[in-house]
Chains A and B, each alone.
Chain A
Amino acid sequence: MTISWLYIGIFLVVSLGLPAVAIILAGILAPKKPSPEKSIIYECGVDTHGETWVQFKAQYYLIGLVFLIFDIETVFLYPWAVAFDRLGLFAVLEGLLFIGILTGGLVYAWKKGAFEWA
């Protein structure tokens, strides 16, 4: 049990390590010629004024909420996918019913224009 999670842990360390190594190596190997031009936020376009964290559009909230709800759906479907082979045809139908009901929600959201960015 613990061993199988250890593999995931090793993968995690490797996946975090590789880009870190790449960045550190680049920092060591690259020639260093600093100039004020290079340290501004964008090297092209107009200079920014004030805070760069701007207010989001309220529309985004609706999409976030709908995402949250479908995210919870995937949490319920995860054990379905794992236990699928021992559950038989009936559980497949139950899962499909669950997905079907939530697809109804998707159709509703779509038709109501919840995903329109305007």
Chain B
Amino acid sequence: MPVITLQLVIFITVAALAIASALGMLFSRNTVYSALLLVFNFTTVAFLYFMMGAPFIGLAQITVYAGAIMVLFLFVIMLLGTEQIARIEQLSAQSVAAVLLGLVIITEAVVVFLLRNPTSLVVTSGGDVVSVNEIGGLLYSQYLLPFEITSFILLVAVVGAIILTKQEKPAGKAVEGEVKK
């Protein structure tokens, strides 16, 4: 039986919040509430990363997932106008698959945490390896090439986002012309 520490109390609180927000997201009938609960869920998970001594992943989780990706999620929800879509369960086959896959994950967790010695999973390498400072040091020396390649991938992604979503000019220009008349 582990000693009750401040850390354990915080962990249990955050974990409970994470599970509650995930369940709320699943069962909310309002898609916008679902999305906002998902933002909350991402934030609590980010908290867990912080507690495990991985601040970089935590911050990335908040900036990228809770920030940018959820903006796109919310936007898609608002663009599609999901309120008008009939609220009929149309994913019955998928839910069977989801339950099966969920069972797989639970089995995996049971095998890893109960049957194997859980301490074998602990990486014994002090807090420093995952510090942001250390990541910066590695990223700009040993992993320089992947880092710079990433910038080109992001550049291509910008171009792709614009080419594929932006319609050609003529329609826009015609409107401007009419205004001038």
A83 and B140: CB pair below 8 A? yes
Q: How far does the alpha carbon of A87 sit from the alpha carbon of B159 in the complex, in Å?
A: 32
Interface residue? B60 (CB, 8 A): yes
Residues in B with CB closer than 8 Å to A87 are 136-137, 140-141
Interface size on B, residues (CB 8 A): 52
Question: Which segment of A23-31, A36-44, A92-100 sits at the interface?
Answer: A92-100
Asked if A75 meets B32 with Cβ closer than 8 Å, knowing A68-B72, A113-B169, the reply is no
A97 proximity list for chain B (CB < 8 A): 148, 151
Kindly state the separation between the CA atoms of A98 and B46 in the bound complex, as whole angstroms.
Answer: 26
Contacts of B69 in A (CB 8 A): 68
Tell me the interface secondary structure of chain B in the complex.
Answer: helix
7 closest A-B pairs by beta carbon, nearest first, are A83-B136, A79-B136, A105-B158, A68-B68, A65-B161, A91-B140, A71-B68
Measured CB to CB, the residues of A under 8 A from B are: 1-2, 5, 9, 51, 53-56, 58, 60-62, 64-69, 71-76, 78-84, 86-87, 91, 94-95, 97-98, 101-102, 104-106, 108-109, 112-114, 116, 118
Could you list some 28 contacts between A and B, CB below 8 A?
A5-B50, A53-B83, A55-B81, A56-B75, A58-B79, A61-B75, A62-B165, A68-B71, A71-B67, A71-B68, A72-B64, A73-B154, A75-B59, A76-B151, A79-B132, A82-B136, A83-B132, A83-B135, A87-B136, A94-B148, A97-B151, A101-B152, A102-B155, A102-B158, A109-B162, A113-B166, A114-B162, A118-B172
